Amino acid sequence: MPIRVSHRSRFTFFIGNMNSSLADLMDLNTQAATQKKINKPSDNSSGMVRILDHRNTLNSIDKYQENVTEAKGWLGVADNKLTTINDILIQLRGLAEQAATGTMSPDNREQTSYQTRQLYEELVSLANTEYEGSYIFAGHKTDAQPYERALWVTDNDGSTTNADGSPRFSLTGDMERSALIRFTSAGTVGTDALTYEYSLDGGRTFDTGTIPAVAGDKTITIGGAQLTLDAGVTVTAKDPNVDSSTNNGTWMWVRPTARYKGDDVDTVGVDQFGNIPATVTSTAQGLFSGNIAVRLDGDATLTAGQSFTYSYSMDGGASWTTGQSATVPADGEVSIVVPGGHLDLAGNAGDTVTSGSQFNIHPRTGRIELQIGPNESIQINNIGKDVLGGVYASPDDGSVSLAPGLSNEKNLFDVVGRLVGYMETNNQNGCQECLANLNDVSIHIMDNAARVGASENRLAVTENILGTLEHNEETRLSAVEDADVSELMTELANQQIIYETVLRSSSMIMRMNLANFL
């Protein structure tokens, strides 16, 4: 039976067909404009998932490449400056060799000391090297100069140091030239009345001073410096007929050094919270990337065979990794494993730590590391005191000492400071001592330069690997996302013909009426 098709129905069909053909044509036009065959999820949902995955991988590679570039900048500057420092050490060795000979006159030694002090000043400047506004030898404190000029004391008989090497004095102020102090009477600071003489002109002339027999530490003012000797320091008298410092009373040289103000990675602190017996001690060892909180999830007794159940958090307690356990060994000291190291608890047998007690591990984080690959990072900065030495104030108690962890023979600013002091006070034997130490310092500096160079080589390899990975990802992304231009132009031409055909046929049908058949 014939069905009557209304004008409204025909119009709706015509518009639908035209819009459908036009939509297909516009999709092809968009592909031609973007050169991409997938421009929205509806084009190919599985393909879009693959595209997003490839793009995320490329973004990660881009970030790694940026970090490699940043690391190359830091390490390149460090390599250059360490090489320059070693060149200065070579100059200092040459000057020390001259000053250590008996043929050099006091006047010549003084003239050489001016050049030596200028090289010392240049070393302080190099220690404060910046890269893009950040100090490269400051540890994590990159926003402030890591080194400043300072004074230190060297003696000839060990009177100013304890058995562990810590100083028995404090020193403030500054001086343009080194000073020499010689005691002319023997005794103990804070107990006996003492006399001394000091020179500010290299030993040509001396002034005298006294230390009263009053209990407590005692301060000596020498030029612009104030030297405070601890009570209990024992000194011996110089023989007035002998000019050498060897086995001849107590001599002290107030001479230059540099104070390190950056941070370090020397120790890991542990804070205890909760019902913990006073006899229980906690220590942590390892390479920790940040603070870690450890929480006991049940009462635990320091008895062999007993189990400790615990959790740990690396985000300040926002989330916890639970279900961890450790067993107390026969020696009663339990080792609780956490990421990067372990927390050790020791105490008396039977000591009980209650559930909920916490131990917060807080390492000194002086290293700056950049991620250059999945689970791969590289250190870009330097801990100044471990490379260049100097004196350092402990963050724990503020006590100042020669840089811990570095022998005095490798401490650049200590050795160079002593050399300056000995030259400025005409001490030939002291210059001979420093000459030997300068070789140790140079080896230490070049060892650190080699470490930096090895890191640069690693970056070069990583850069090549990242370049290859980037190329592979771009190729895989292109295979999924990019349009075939020749195929696209063919489809575009075909779709244009289809669209024009729909328009023409629709127009022909719309014009037909009964008059066409009369």
- CATH number, domain with residue 117: 1.20.1330.10
Full residue range of the structural domain in which residue 286 is found: 268-363
Question: Whole-prediction pTM value?
Answer: 0.81
**272, 310, 312, 348, 353 from 278: Cα distances, Å:** 10, 20, 23, 10, 10
Residues 84 and 216 in one domain: yes
Q: Which two three-digit tokens encode residue 173?
A: 């102020």
* Residue 17, pLDDT score: 67
> Does residue 473 sit within a domain?
no
Cα separation of 237 and 239, whole Å?
A: 7
Residues 134 and 167 in one domain: yes
**CA proximity to 10, closest of 514, 511, 383:** 511
Position with higher pLDDT, 266 vs 148 = 148
Q: Percent of the chain scored above 70 by pLDDT?
A: 89
Cα separation of 188 and 39, whole Å?
A: 87
pLDDT tens, position by position, 145-193: 999 999 999 999 999 999 888 999 999 999 999 999 999 999 999 999 9
* Residue 513, pLDDT score: 55
pLDDT tier at 292 (50, 70, 90 boundaries)? very high
* Residue 178, pLDDT score: 96
Residues 242 and 277 in one domain: no
Residues 273 and 220 in one domain: no
| CB-based contact 338:384 (threshold 8 Å) | no
Contacts of 454 (CB under 8 A, 6+ apart): none
Residues 172 and 299 in one domain: no
DSSP 36: B
pLDDT tier at 265 (50, 70, 90 boundaries)? confident
> Does residue 508 sit within a domain?
no
> Does residue 424 sit within a domain?
yes
> Does residue 347 sit within a domain?
yes
Residues 260 and 304 in one domain: no
Cα separation of 111 and 424, whole Å?
A: 9
Q: Most confidently modeled of 40-44, 210-214, 262-266, 482-486? A: 210-214
Cα separation of 54 and 31, whole Å?
A: 20
Average pLDDT over residues 363-371: 88
User: What Rg do the C-alpha atoms of the chain give, in angstroms?
Assistant: 39
| Orientation of helix 45-99 relative to helix 428-481, angle to 10° | 170
> Does residue 408 sit within a domain?
yes
* Residue 365, pLDDT score: 81
Cα separation of 344 and 336, whole Å?
A: 6
| Orientation of helix 106-127 relative to helix 45-99, angle to 10° | 170
pLDDT tier at 467 (50, 70, 90 boundaries)? very high
> Does residue 492 sit within a domain?
no
Query: How many structural domains are present in the chain?
Result: 2
Residues 195 and 107 in one domain: yes
Q: Percent of the chain scored above 90 by pLDDT?
A: 66
Residues 430 and 332 in one domain: no
- Has residue 10 got a pLDDT over 70? no
The mean predicted confidence, pLDDT, of the chain is 89
Residues 259 and 272 in one domain: no
